């Protein structure tokens, strides 16, 4: 049997004449931080002071464990090196690397010392800038939306800075490293092709082995076992699909072969289907493969969890253009998505617990699809394991974003190797539903003057339309591929044509106003977003000692978008009088973000099935920053997060224009029809009901229905004092004929009561006036405090209970503290 020895201990990082203790997996920045050599680059403007780290070369050292191995071969295996490195064993170079997104295996047989003195292992990293500059000199300059040279090196692009991220160019052994001792043969590639046909699940495993010379041509057996692994996610929502009562499967099969490749297949009768969350459960199967020699001795093994489901992407043409609809197990799905960026600009710091927290937060926001964006990384296996369990569909970008990428060597081979390795690594995961060629590069070529600048040079098209779809088809033909986001399906249409395929809606944030979302009917809104600052406690931690202002030095440093604050201010000024007071500014920019995204999602969900998905830019952050995220860099939820819970719920009530007038629309993504009576009230700003009626409203299962609001119930167009309230089954939709700026908001007035419970405090707010977008910023009470809800609008007389955890409300000042942490829309 193969013998595996992890090499995570005893590493040092050489800095000047010192050998600092080093974490493996880890990176230079986090080691220097732990040793006190650099300040925390996430705080204040320290990022600038540590710029030198990314420009320097670095050396990691350890020694190989003493002791002999009886095996024929010893391999030194790195799951990931960041990025340009020379690996030395006993002073001899055993390999060089230039791709963060690949693993590396070096044959070091006979070099590891045996009974002799300990053998040194060193990894020497050349600055990513040096490597990128060298490749650029070789292949020639290409256009890029950002100033840094990330398209000349296969390394996480956003490490070089992004419009939400700091420039912290890492180096290091960012994934595990180990010695593998083996004899005769080992599994070099295991590719499970999982399909389901008329209820029968099929696992066809393509096995590739590497053999030693003594093992060449000898008979081998690959034994496969597939067993039900239960429902690790444990969700059992009312989803309309039934849990399979079939006896738990335990299927075995095997194949004997004497070459280097074989296929072993197993069938699971009555396979329990894996569903996206909200559509059914997430039953998983344990899939184990054992490689044996002719004597039956085990040489190597592999195991992963799989799930049975079919997935297709329907891109057929119709009377509206070209669709883009995910179809899982035959069910057409409106994707309630978010874009994912690396959760830390130092990805080696992201623990499994942190992945679980973040992805669980996504599910709490009602999300069912995560797009792993192309300027980041192919995430760790843990990420996809958790998505499998939670029923989160994953759309995975290949790692190309916002630049023209050269197709010459040495990049081309790296891209191909990286693609094959990662498609193979991720294909066991039921959650993975789509591969995407790139982020915005087909669009950039057409619209951002690249075409002219390139004057015929390669720019990546050969990857997106040639190499990558071929790699997916050859490696994992069970999954759909799309060439880009956005992409209209061919050059026949503009790459970002909303009527064809995926589109990104950025004009709205960059230049116009979020009400413009209402003019758009994308077939699939793969990116759209609105900025807001992070939570108050996050800012307080990130900007110690700074007097906070919208344009204070630290605030501007932690805002990376071009004219970001200008866009925030102008976007706010279209709806509210921009306050001078920081706390009000902070609250209102967060309100505006939530309003913007809700406007888009409500409108687009109401257009199902013409529009088949919304993927919000962006779920998370990689450091404390003002950005488009719903969860900030310290993991705190912005009001947008809570708003997503409302607009991504299975049942959403919204007011949209139908036949030229306001209608109440029921978006029903649940498995059961939604027949209800909606109470519609025409109200005055002072809370008086001017007219009222009960209307029938119904939407079939997984469909949309509407009822037109009769004229007598409509607030006067342009009225600053009237609005519409629609209530059904605990959902509420509001419609104001004018913008907040113009509306006659009363001065907010309410009663406040605190009720202390074991482990939580209930904040009960009872409205005396109309309270628009009431928000309790719990982190102002205590940095750890968390409220269970975000923006709430109350009519006079109504009350809400906000549950606060992480704060004990001790002392006399508790009520006053809550009053100071409560915000609502005020008269202009
Ligand atoms: C899109 C994304 C990112 C970017 C975001 C906000 O272009 O793909 O590149 O961060 O918009 O500008």
Q: Is the CB of 397 under 6 A from ligand 1?
A: no
Tell me how far apart the alpha carbons of residues 818 and 804 are, in angstroms, rounded to a whole number.
11
Residue 457: pLDDT over 80: yes
**Neighbour tally for 467: CB within 10 Å:** 18
CA dist list (Å): 409 to 171, 611, 795: 23, 40, 65
Structure tokens at 253: 């099969």
Hey, whose CA ends up nearest to atom 6 of ligand 1? 163
230 pLDDT band, cuts 50/70/90, is confident
> What is the per-residue DSSP string for 556-587?
HHTB-STTHHHHHHHHHHTTSPPPSSHHHHHH
Lowest mean pLDDT among 212-216, 588-592, 766-770: 212-216
Residue 234: pLDDT over 80: no
Structure tokens at 437: 């060629």
The model's pLDDT over 789-822, given as tens digits with 9 standing for 90+, comes to: 999 999 999 999 999 999 999 888 999 999 999 9
Task: Collapse the DSSP code of 290 into the 3-class scheme (helix H, G, I; strand E, B; otherwise coil) and give the result.
Answer: strand
Q: Is the CB of 388 under 6 A from ligand 1?
A: no
**Neighbour tally for 784: CB within 10 Å:** 12
> Buried b / exposed e across 319-329, counting CB within 10 Å, b at 16+?
eebbbbbbbbb
**Neighbour tally for 729: CB within 10 Å:** 14
Q: What is the pLDDT of residue 331?
A: 98
Q: Is the CB of 389 under 6 A from ligand 1?
A: no
Question: Is 327 in contact with 311 (CB distance < 8 Å)?
Answer: yes
628 Cα nearest atom in ligand 1: 6
Task: Say what percent of the chain tops pLDDT 70.
Answer: 98
Q: What is the pLDDT of residue 113?
A: 81
Q: Is the CB of 402 under 6 A from ligand 1?
A: yes
Q: Is the CB of 439 under 6 A from ligand 1?
A: yes
Question: Is 627 in contact with 621 (CB distance < 8 Å)?
Answer: yes
617 Cα nearest atom in ligand 1: 5
The model's pLDDT over 258-314, given as tens digits with 9 standing for 90+, comes to: 999 999 999 999 999 999 999 999 999 999 999 999 999 999 999 999 999 999 999
Tell me how far the alpha carbon of residue 439 lies from the centroid of ligand 1, in angstroms: 9
Tell me how far apart the alpha carbons of residues 258 and 265 are, in angstroms, rounded to a whole number.
17
Residue 239: pLDDT over 70: no
Tell me how far the alpha carbon of residue 399 lies from the centroid of ligand 1, in angstroms: 14
373 Cα nearest atom in ligand 1: 8
Q: Which of 617, 619, 621, 622 to mutate to test the pocket of ligand 1 (most atoms within 8 A of CB)?
A: 617
114 pLDDT band, cuts 50/70/90, is confident
CA dist list (Å): 297 to 209, 219, 223: 16, 12, 12
Q: What is the pLDDT of residue 236?
A: 45
Question: Is 374 in contact with 350 (CB distance < 8 Å)?
Answer: no
**List of residues 6+ apart from 385 with CB closer than 8 A:** 305, 429
Place of tokens 């915000």: 823
> Buried b / exposed e across 712-723, counting CB within 10 Å, b at 16+?
ebbbeeebbbbb
**List of residues 6+ apart from 97 with CB closer than 8 A:** 78, 81, 83, 84, 85, 87, 104
Tell me how far apart the alpha carbons of residues 424 and 102 are, in angstroms, rounded to a whole number.
12
Q: What is the pLDDT of residue 231?
A: 73
Closest residue by Cα to residue 350 from 623, 105, 104, 123: 623
Question: Is 623 in contact with 42 (CB distance < 8 Å)?
Answer: yes
Structure tokens at 379: 């995430």
Kindly report the pTM of this predicted structure: 0.97
Q: What is the pLDDT of residue 436?
A: 98
Hey, whose CA ends up nearest to atom 8 of ligand 1? 439
Tell me how far the alpha carbon of residue 569 lies from the centroid of ligand 1, in angstroms: 19
Q: Is the CB of 435 under 6 A from ligand 1?
A: no
β partners of residue 228: 285
Question: Is-cis flag, bond preceding 4, omega within 30?
Answer: no
Closest residue by Cα to residue 643 from 591, 710, 717: 591
The model's pLDDT over 709-751, given as tens digits with 9 standing for 90+, comes to: 999 999 998 999 999 999 999 999 999 999 999 999 999 999 9
Catalytic residue among 407, 440, 461, 527: 440
DSSP 450: H
Q: Which of 150, 163, 487, 629 to mutate to test the pocket of ligand 1 (most atoms within 8 A of CB)?
A: 163
Q: Is the CB of 418 under 6 A from ligand 1?
A: no
Structure tokens at 554: 């630290």
* β strands within 134-248, DSSP E: 160-162, 165-167, 177-182, 185-197, 200-211, 220-228
Tell me how far the alpha carbon of residue 450 lies from the centroid of ligand 1, in angstroms: 17
Q: Which of 440, 442, 621 to mutate to test the pocket of ligand 1 (most atoms within 8 A of CB)?
A: 440
> What is the per-residue DSSP string for 340-370?
E--SSSSGGG--HHHHHHHHHHHHHTT--EE
Tell me how far the alpha carbon of residue 269 lies from the centroid of ligand 1, in angstroms: 45
Catalytic status, residue 379: no
Closest residue by Cα to residue 378 from 335, 419, 410, 439: 419
374 Cα nearest atom in ligand 1: 8
The model's pLDDT over 627-639, given as tens digits with 9 standing for 90+, comes to: 999 999 999 999 9
Q: Is the CB of 496 under 6 A from ligand 1?
A: no
Mean pLDDT of the chain: 96
Under the phi-then-psi rule, with left for phi > 0, alpha for psi from -120 to 50, and beta for the rest, what region is 414?
alpha
Tell me how far the alpha carbon of residue 548 lies from the centroid of ligand 1, in angstroms: 27
Q: What is the pLDDT of residue 69?
A: 85
Tell me how far apart the alpha carbons of residues 795 and 246 are, in angstroms, rounded to a whole number.
51
Structure tokens at 626: 């003002």
Structure tokens at 777: 């910023």
Question: Is 53 in contact with 29 (CB distance < 8 Å)?
Answer: yes
Task: Collapse the DSSP code of 522 into the 3-class scheme (helix H, G, I; strand E, B; otherwise coil) and give the result.
Answer: coil
Considering all CA atoms of the chain, what is the largest pairwise distance in Å, rounded to the nearest integer?
Answer: 94
Q: Is the CB of 286 under 6 A from ligand 1?
A: no
Structure tokens at 362: 């996504």
Task: Give CB contacts under 8 A, 24+ apart, made by 45-50.
Answer: 45/553, 45/554, 45/557, 47/166, 47/167, 47/168, 47/557, 50/168
Tell me how far apart the alpha carbons of residues 547 and 581 are, in angstroms, rounded to a whole number.
12
Task: Tell me the residue length of the chain.
Answer: 828
Q: Is the CB of 440 under 6 A from ligand 1?
A: yes
> What is the per-residue DSSP string for 57-90?
-EEEEEEPPP----SSEEEEEES--BSEEEEEET
Q: Is the CB of 162 under 6 A from ligand 1?
A: yes
Tell me how far apart the alpha carbons of residues 181 and 188 are, in angstroms, rounded to a whole number.
14
Closest residue by Cα to residue 70 from 209, 183, 187, 212: 183
Q: Is the CB of 164 under 6 A from ligand 1?
A: yes
Hey, whose CA ends up nearest to atom 10 of ligand 1? 163
247 pLDDT band, cuts 50/70/90, is low
* Secondary structure string (H, E, C) spanning 104-156: EEEECCCCCCCCCCCCEEEEEEECHHHHHHHHHHHHCCCCECCCCCHHHCECC
506 Cα nearest atom in ligand 1: 11
623 pLDDT band, cuts 50/70/90, is very high
Q: What is the pLDDT of residue 828?
A: 86
Task: Give CB contacts under 8 A, 24+ apart, made by 785-794.
Answer: 786/636, 786/637, 787/763, 789/642, 790/594, 790/637, 790/638, 790/639, 790/640, 790/641, 790/642, 790/643, 791/591, 791/594, 791/639, 791/642, 791/643, 793/732, 793/734, 794/750, 794/765, 794/767, 794/770
Tell me how far apart the alpha carbons of residues 615 and 524 are, in angstroms, rounded to a whole number.
8
Tell me how far the alpha carbon of residue 375 lies from the centroid of ligand 1, in angstroms: 9
Tell me how far the alpha carbon of residue 596 lies from the centroid of ligand 1, in angstroms: 17
Q: What is the mean pLDDT of residues 137-146?
A: 96
Under the phi-then-psi rule, with left for phi > 0, alpha for psi from -120 to 50, and beta for the rest, what region is 284?
beta
Tell me how far the alpha carbon of residue 444 lies from the centroid of ligand 1, in angstroms: 12
CA dist list (Å): 438 to 400, 405, 485, 665, 775: 5, 10, 6, 35, 38
Pairing of strands 261-268, 200-211: antiparallel
Structure tokens at 612: 């088949």
**List of residues 6+ apart from 121 with CB closer than 8 A:** 7, 61, 62, 63, 64, 76, 87, 88, 89
Q: What is the pLDDT of residue 801?
A: 98
For helices 352-364 and 381-390, the axis angle rounded to 10 degrees is 30
Q: Is the CB of 443 under 6 A from ligand 1?
A: no
Q: Is the CB of 617 under 6 A from ligand 1?
A: yes
162 Cα nearest atom in ligand 1: 10
Tell me how far the alpha carbon of residue 377 lies from the centroid of ligand 1, in angstroms: 15
Q: Write phi, then psi, for 333 (nearest 5 degrees).
A: -125, 130
Q: Is the CB of 163 under 6 A from ligand 1?
A: yes
Question: Is 87 in contact with 38 (CB distance < 8 Å)?
Answer: no
CA dihedral of residues 19, 21, 23, 24 (deg, nearest 10): 50
Tell me how far the alpha carbon of residue 159 lies from the centroid of ligand 1, in angstroms: 14
């Amino acid at each position: 049997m193969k013998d595996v020895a992890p090499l995570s201990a005893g590493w040092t990082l050489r800095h000047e004449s010192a050998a600092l203790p080093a974490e493996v997996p880890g990176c230079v920045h986090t080691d220097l931080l732990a040793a006190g050599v650099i300040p925390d680059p996430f705080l204040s403007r320290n990022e600038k002071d540590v710029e030198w780290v990314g420009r320097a070369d670095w050396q990691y050292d350890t020694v190989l464990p003493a002791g002999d191995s009886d095996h024929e071969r010893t391999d030194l295996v790195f799951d990931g090196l960041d990025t340009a490195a020379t690996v030395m064993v006993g002073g001899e170079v055993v390999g060089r690397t230039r791709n963060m997104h690949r693993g590396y295996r070096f044959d070091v047989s006979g070099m590891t010392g045996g009974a002799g003195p300990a053998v040194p292992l060193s990894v020497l990293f050349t600055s990513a800038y040096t490597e990128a500059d060298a490749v650029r000199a070789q292949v020639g300059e290409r256009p890029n939306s950002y100033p840094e040279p990330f398209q000349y090196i296969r390394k996480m692009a956003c490490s070089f800075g992004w419009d939400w991220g700091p420039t912290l160019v890492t180096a290091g052994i960012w994934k595990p490293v180990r010695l593998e001792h083996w004899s005769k043969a080992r599994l070099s590639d295991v590719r499970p092709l999982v399909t389901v046909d008329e209820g029968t699940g099929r696992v066809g495993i393509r096995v590739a082995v590497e053999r030693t010379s003594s093992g060449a041509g000898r008979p081998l057996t690959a034994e496969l076992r597939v067993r039900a692994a239960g429902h690790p996610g444990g969700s059992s929502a009312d989803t309309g699909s039934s849990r399979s009562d079939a006896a738990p499967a335990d299927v075995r099969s095997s194949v004997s072969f004497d070459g280097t490749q074989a296929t072993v297949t197993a069938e699971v009768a009555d396979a329990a289907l894996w569903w996206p969350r909200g559509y059914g459960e997430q039953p998983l199967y344990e899939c184990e493969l054992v490689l044996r020699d002719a004597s039956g001795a085990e040489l190597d093994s592999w195991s992963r969890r799989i799930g049975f489901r079919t997935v297709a992407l329907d891109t057929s043409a119709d009377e509206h253009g070209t669709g883009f609809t995910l179809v899982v197990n035959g069910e057409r799905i409106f994707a309630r998505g978010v874009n994912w960026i690396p959760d830390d600009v130092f990805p080696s710091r992201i623990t499994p617990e942190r992945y679980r927290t973040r992805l669980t937060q996504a599910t709490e926001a009602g999300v069912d699809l995560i797009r792993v964006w192309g300027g980041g990384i192919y995430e760790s296996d843990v990420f996809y394991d958790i998505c499998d369990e939670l029923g989160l569909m994953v759309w995975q970008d290949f790692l190309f974003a916002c630049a023209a990428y050269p197709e010459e060597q040495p990049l081309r081979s790296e891209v191909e190797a990286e693609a094959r390795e990662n498609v193979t690594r991720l294909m066991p995961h039921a959650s993975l539903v789509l591969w995407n060629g790139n982020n915005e590069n087909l669009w950039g070529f057409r619209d951002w003057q690249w075409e002219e600048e390139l004057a015929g040079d390669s720019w990546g098209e050969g990857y997106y339309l040639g190499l990558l779809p071929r790699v997916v088809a050859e490696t994992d033909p069970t999954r759909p591929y799309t060439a880009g986001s956005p992409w209209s399906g061919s050059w026949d249409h503009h790459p970002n044509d909303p009527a064809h395929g995926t589109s990104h809606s950025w004009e709205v944030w960059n230049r116009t106003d979020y009400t413009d979302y209402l003019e758009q009917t994308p077939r699939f809104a793969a990116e759209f977003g609105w900025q807001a600052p992070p939570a108050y406690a996050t800012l307080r931690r990130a900007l110690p000692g700074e007097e906070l202002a919208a344009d204070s030095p630290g605030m501007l440093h932690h805002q990376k978008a071009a004219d970001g604050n200008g866009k925030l201010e102008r976007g706010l000024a279209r709806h509210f009088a921009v306050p001078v007071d920081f706390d009000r500014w902070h609250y209102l920019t967060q309100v505006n973000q939530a309003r913007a995204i809700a406007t888009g999602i409500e409108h687009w969900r109401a257009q199902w099935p013409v529009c088949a998905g919304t993927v919000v830019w962006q779920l998370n952050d990689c450091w404390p920053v003002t950005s488009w995220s719903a969860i900030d860099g310290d993991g705190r939820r912005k009001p947008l997060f809570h708003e997503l819970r409302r607009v991504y719920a299975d049942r959403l009530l919204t007011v949209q224009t139908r036949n030229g007038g306001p209608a109440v629309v029921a978006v029903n993504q649940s498995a059961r029809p939604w027949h209800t009576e909606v109470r519609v009230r025409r109200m005055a700003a002072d809370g008086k009901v001017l007219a009222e009626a009960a209307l029938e409203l119904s939407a079939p299962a997984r469909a949309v229905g509407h009822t037109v609001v009769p004229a007598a119930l409509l607030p006067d167009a342009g009225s600053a004092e009237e609005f519409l309230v629609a209530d059904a089954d605990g959902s509420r939709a509001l419609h104001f004929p004018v913008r907040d700026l113009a509306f006659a908001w009363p001065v907010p007035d309410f009663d406040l009561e605190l009720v202390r419970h074991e482990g939580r405090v209930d904040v009960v707010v009872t409205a005396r006036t109309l309270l628009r977008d009431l928000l309790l910023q719990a982190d102002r009470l205590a940095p750890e405090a968390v409220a269970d809800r975000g923006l709430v609008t109350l009519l006079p007389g109504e009350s809400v209970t906000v549950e606060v955890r992480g704060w004990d409300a001790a002392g006399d000042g508790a009520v006053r503290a809550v009053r100071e942490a409560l915000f609502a829309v005020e008269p202009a």
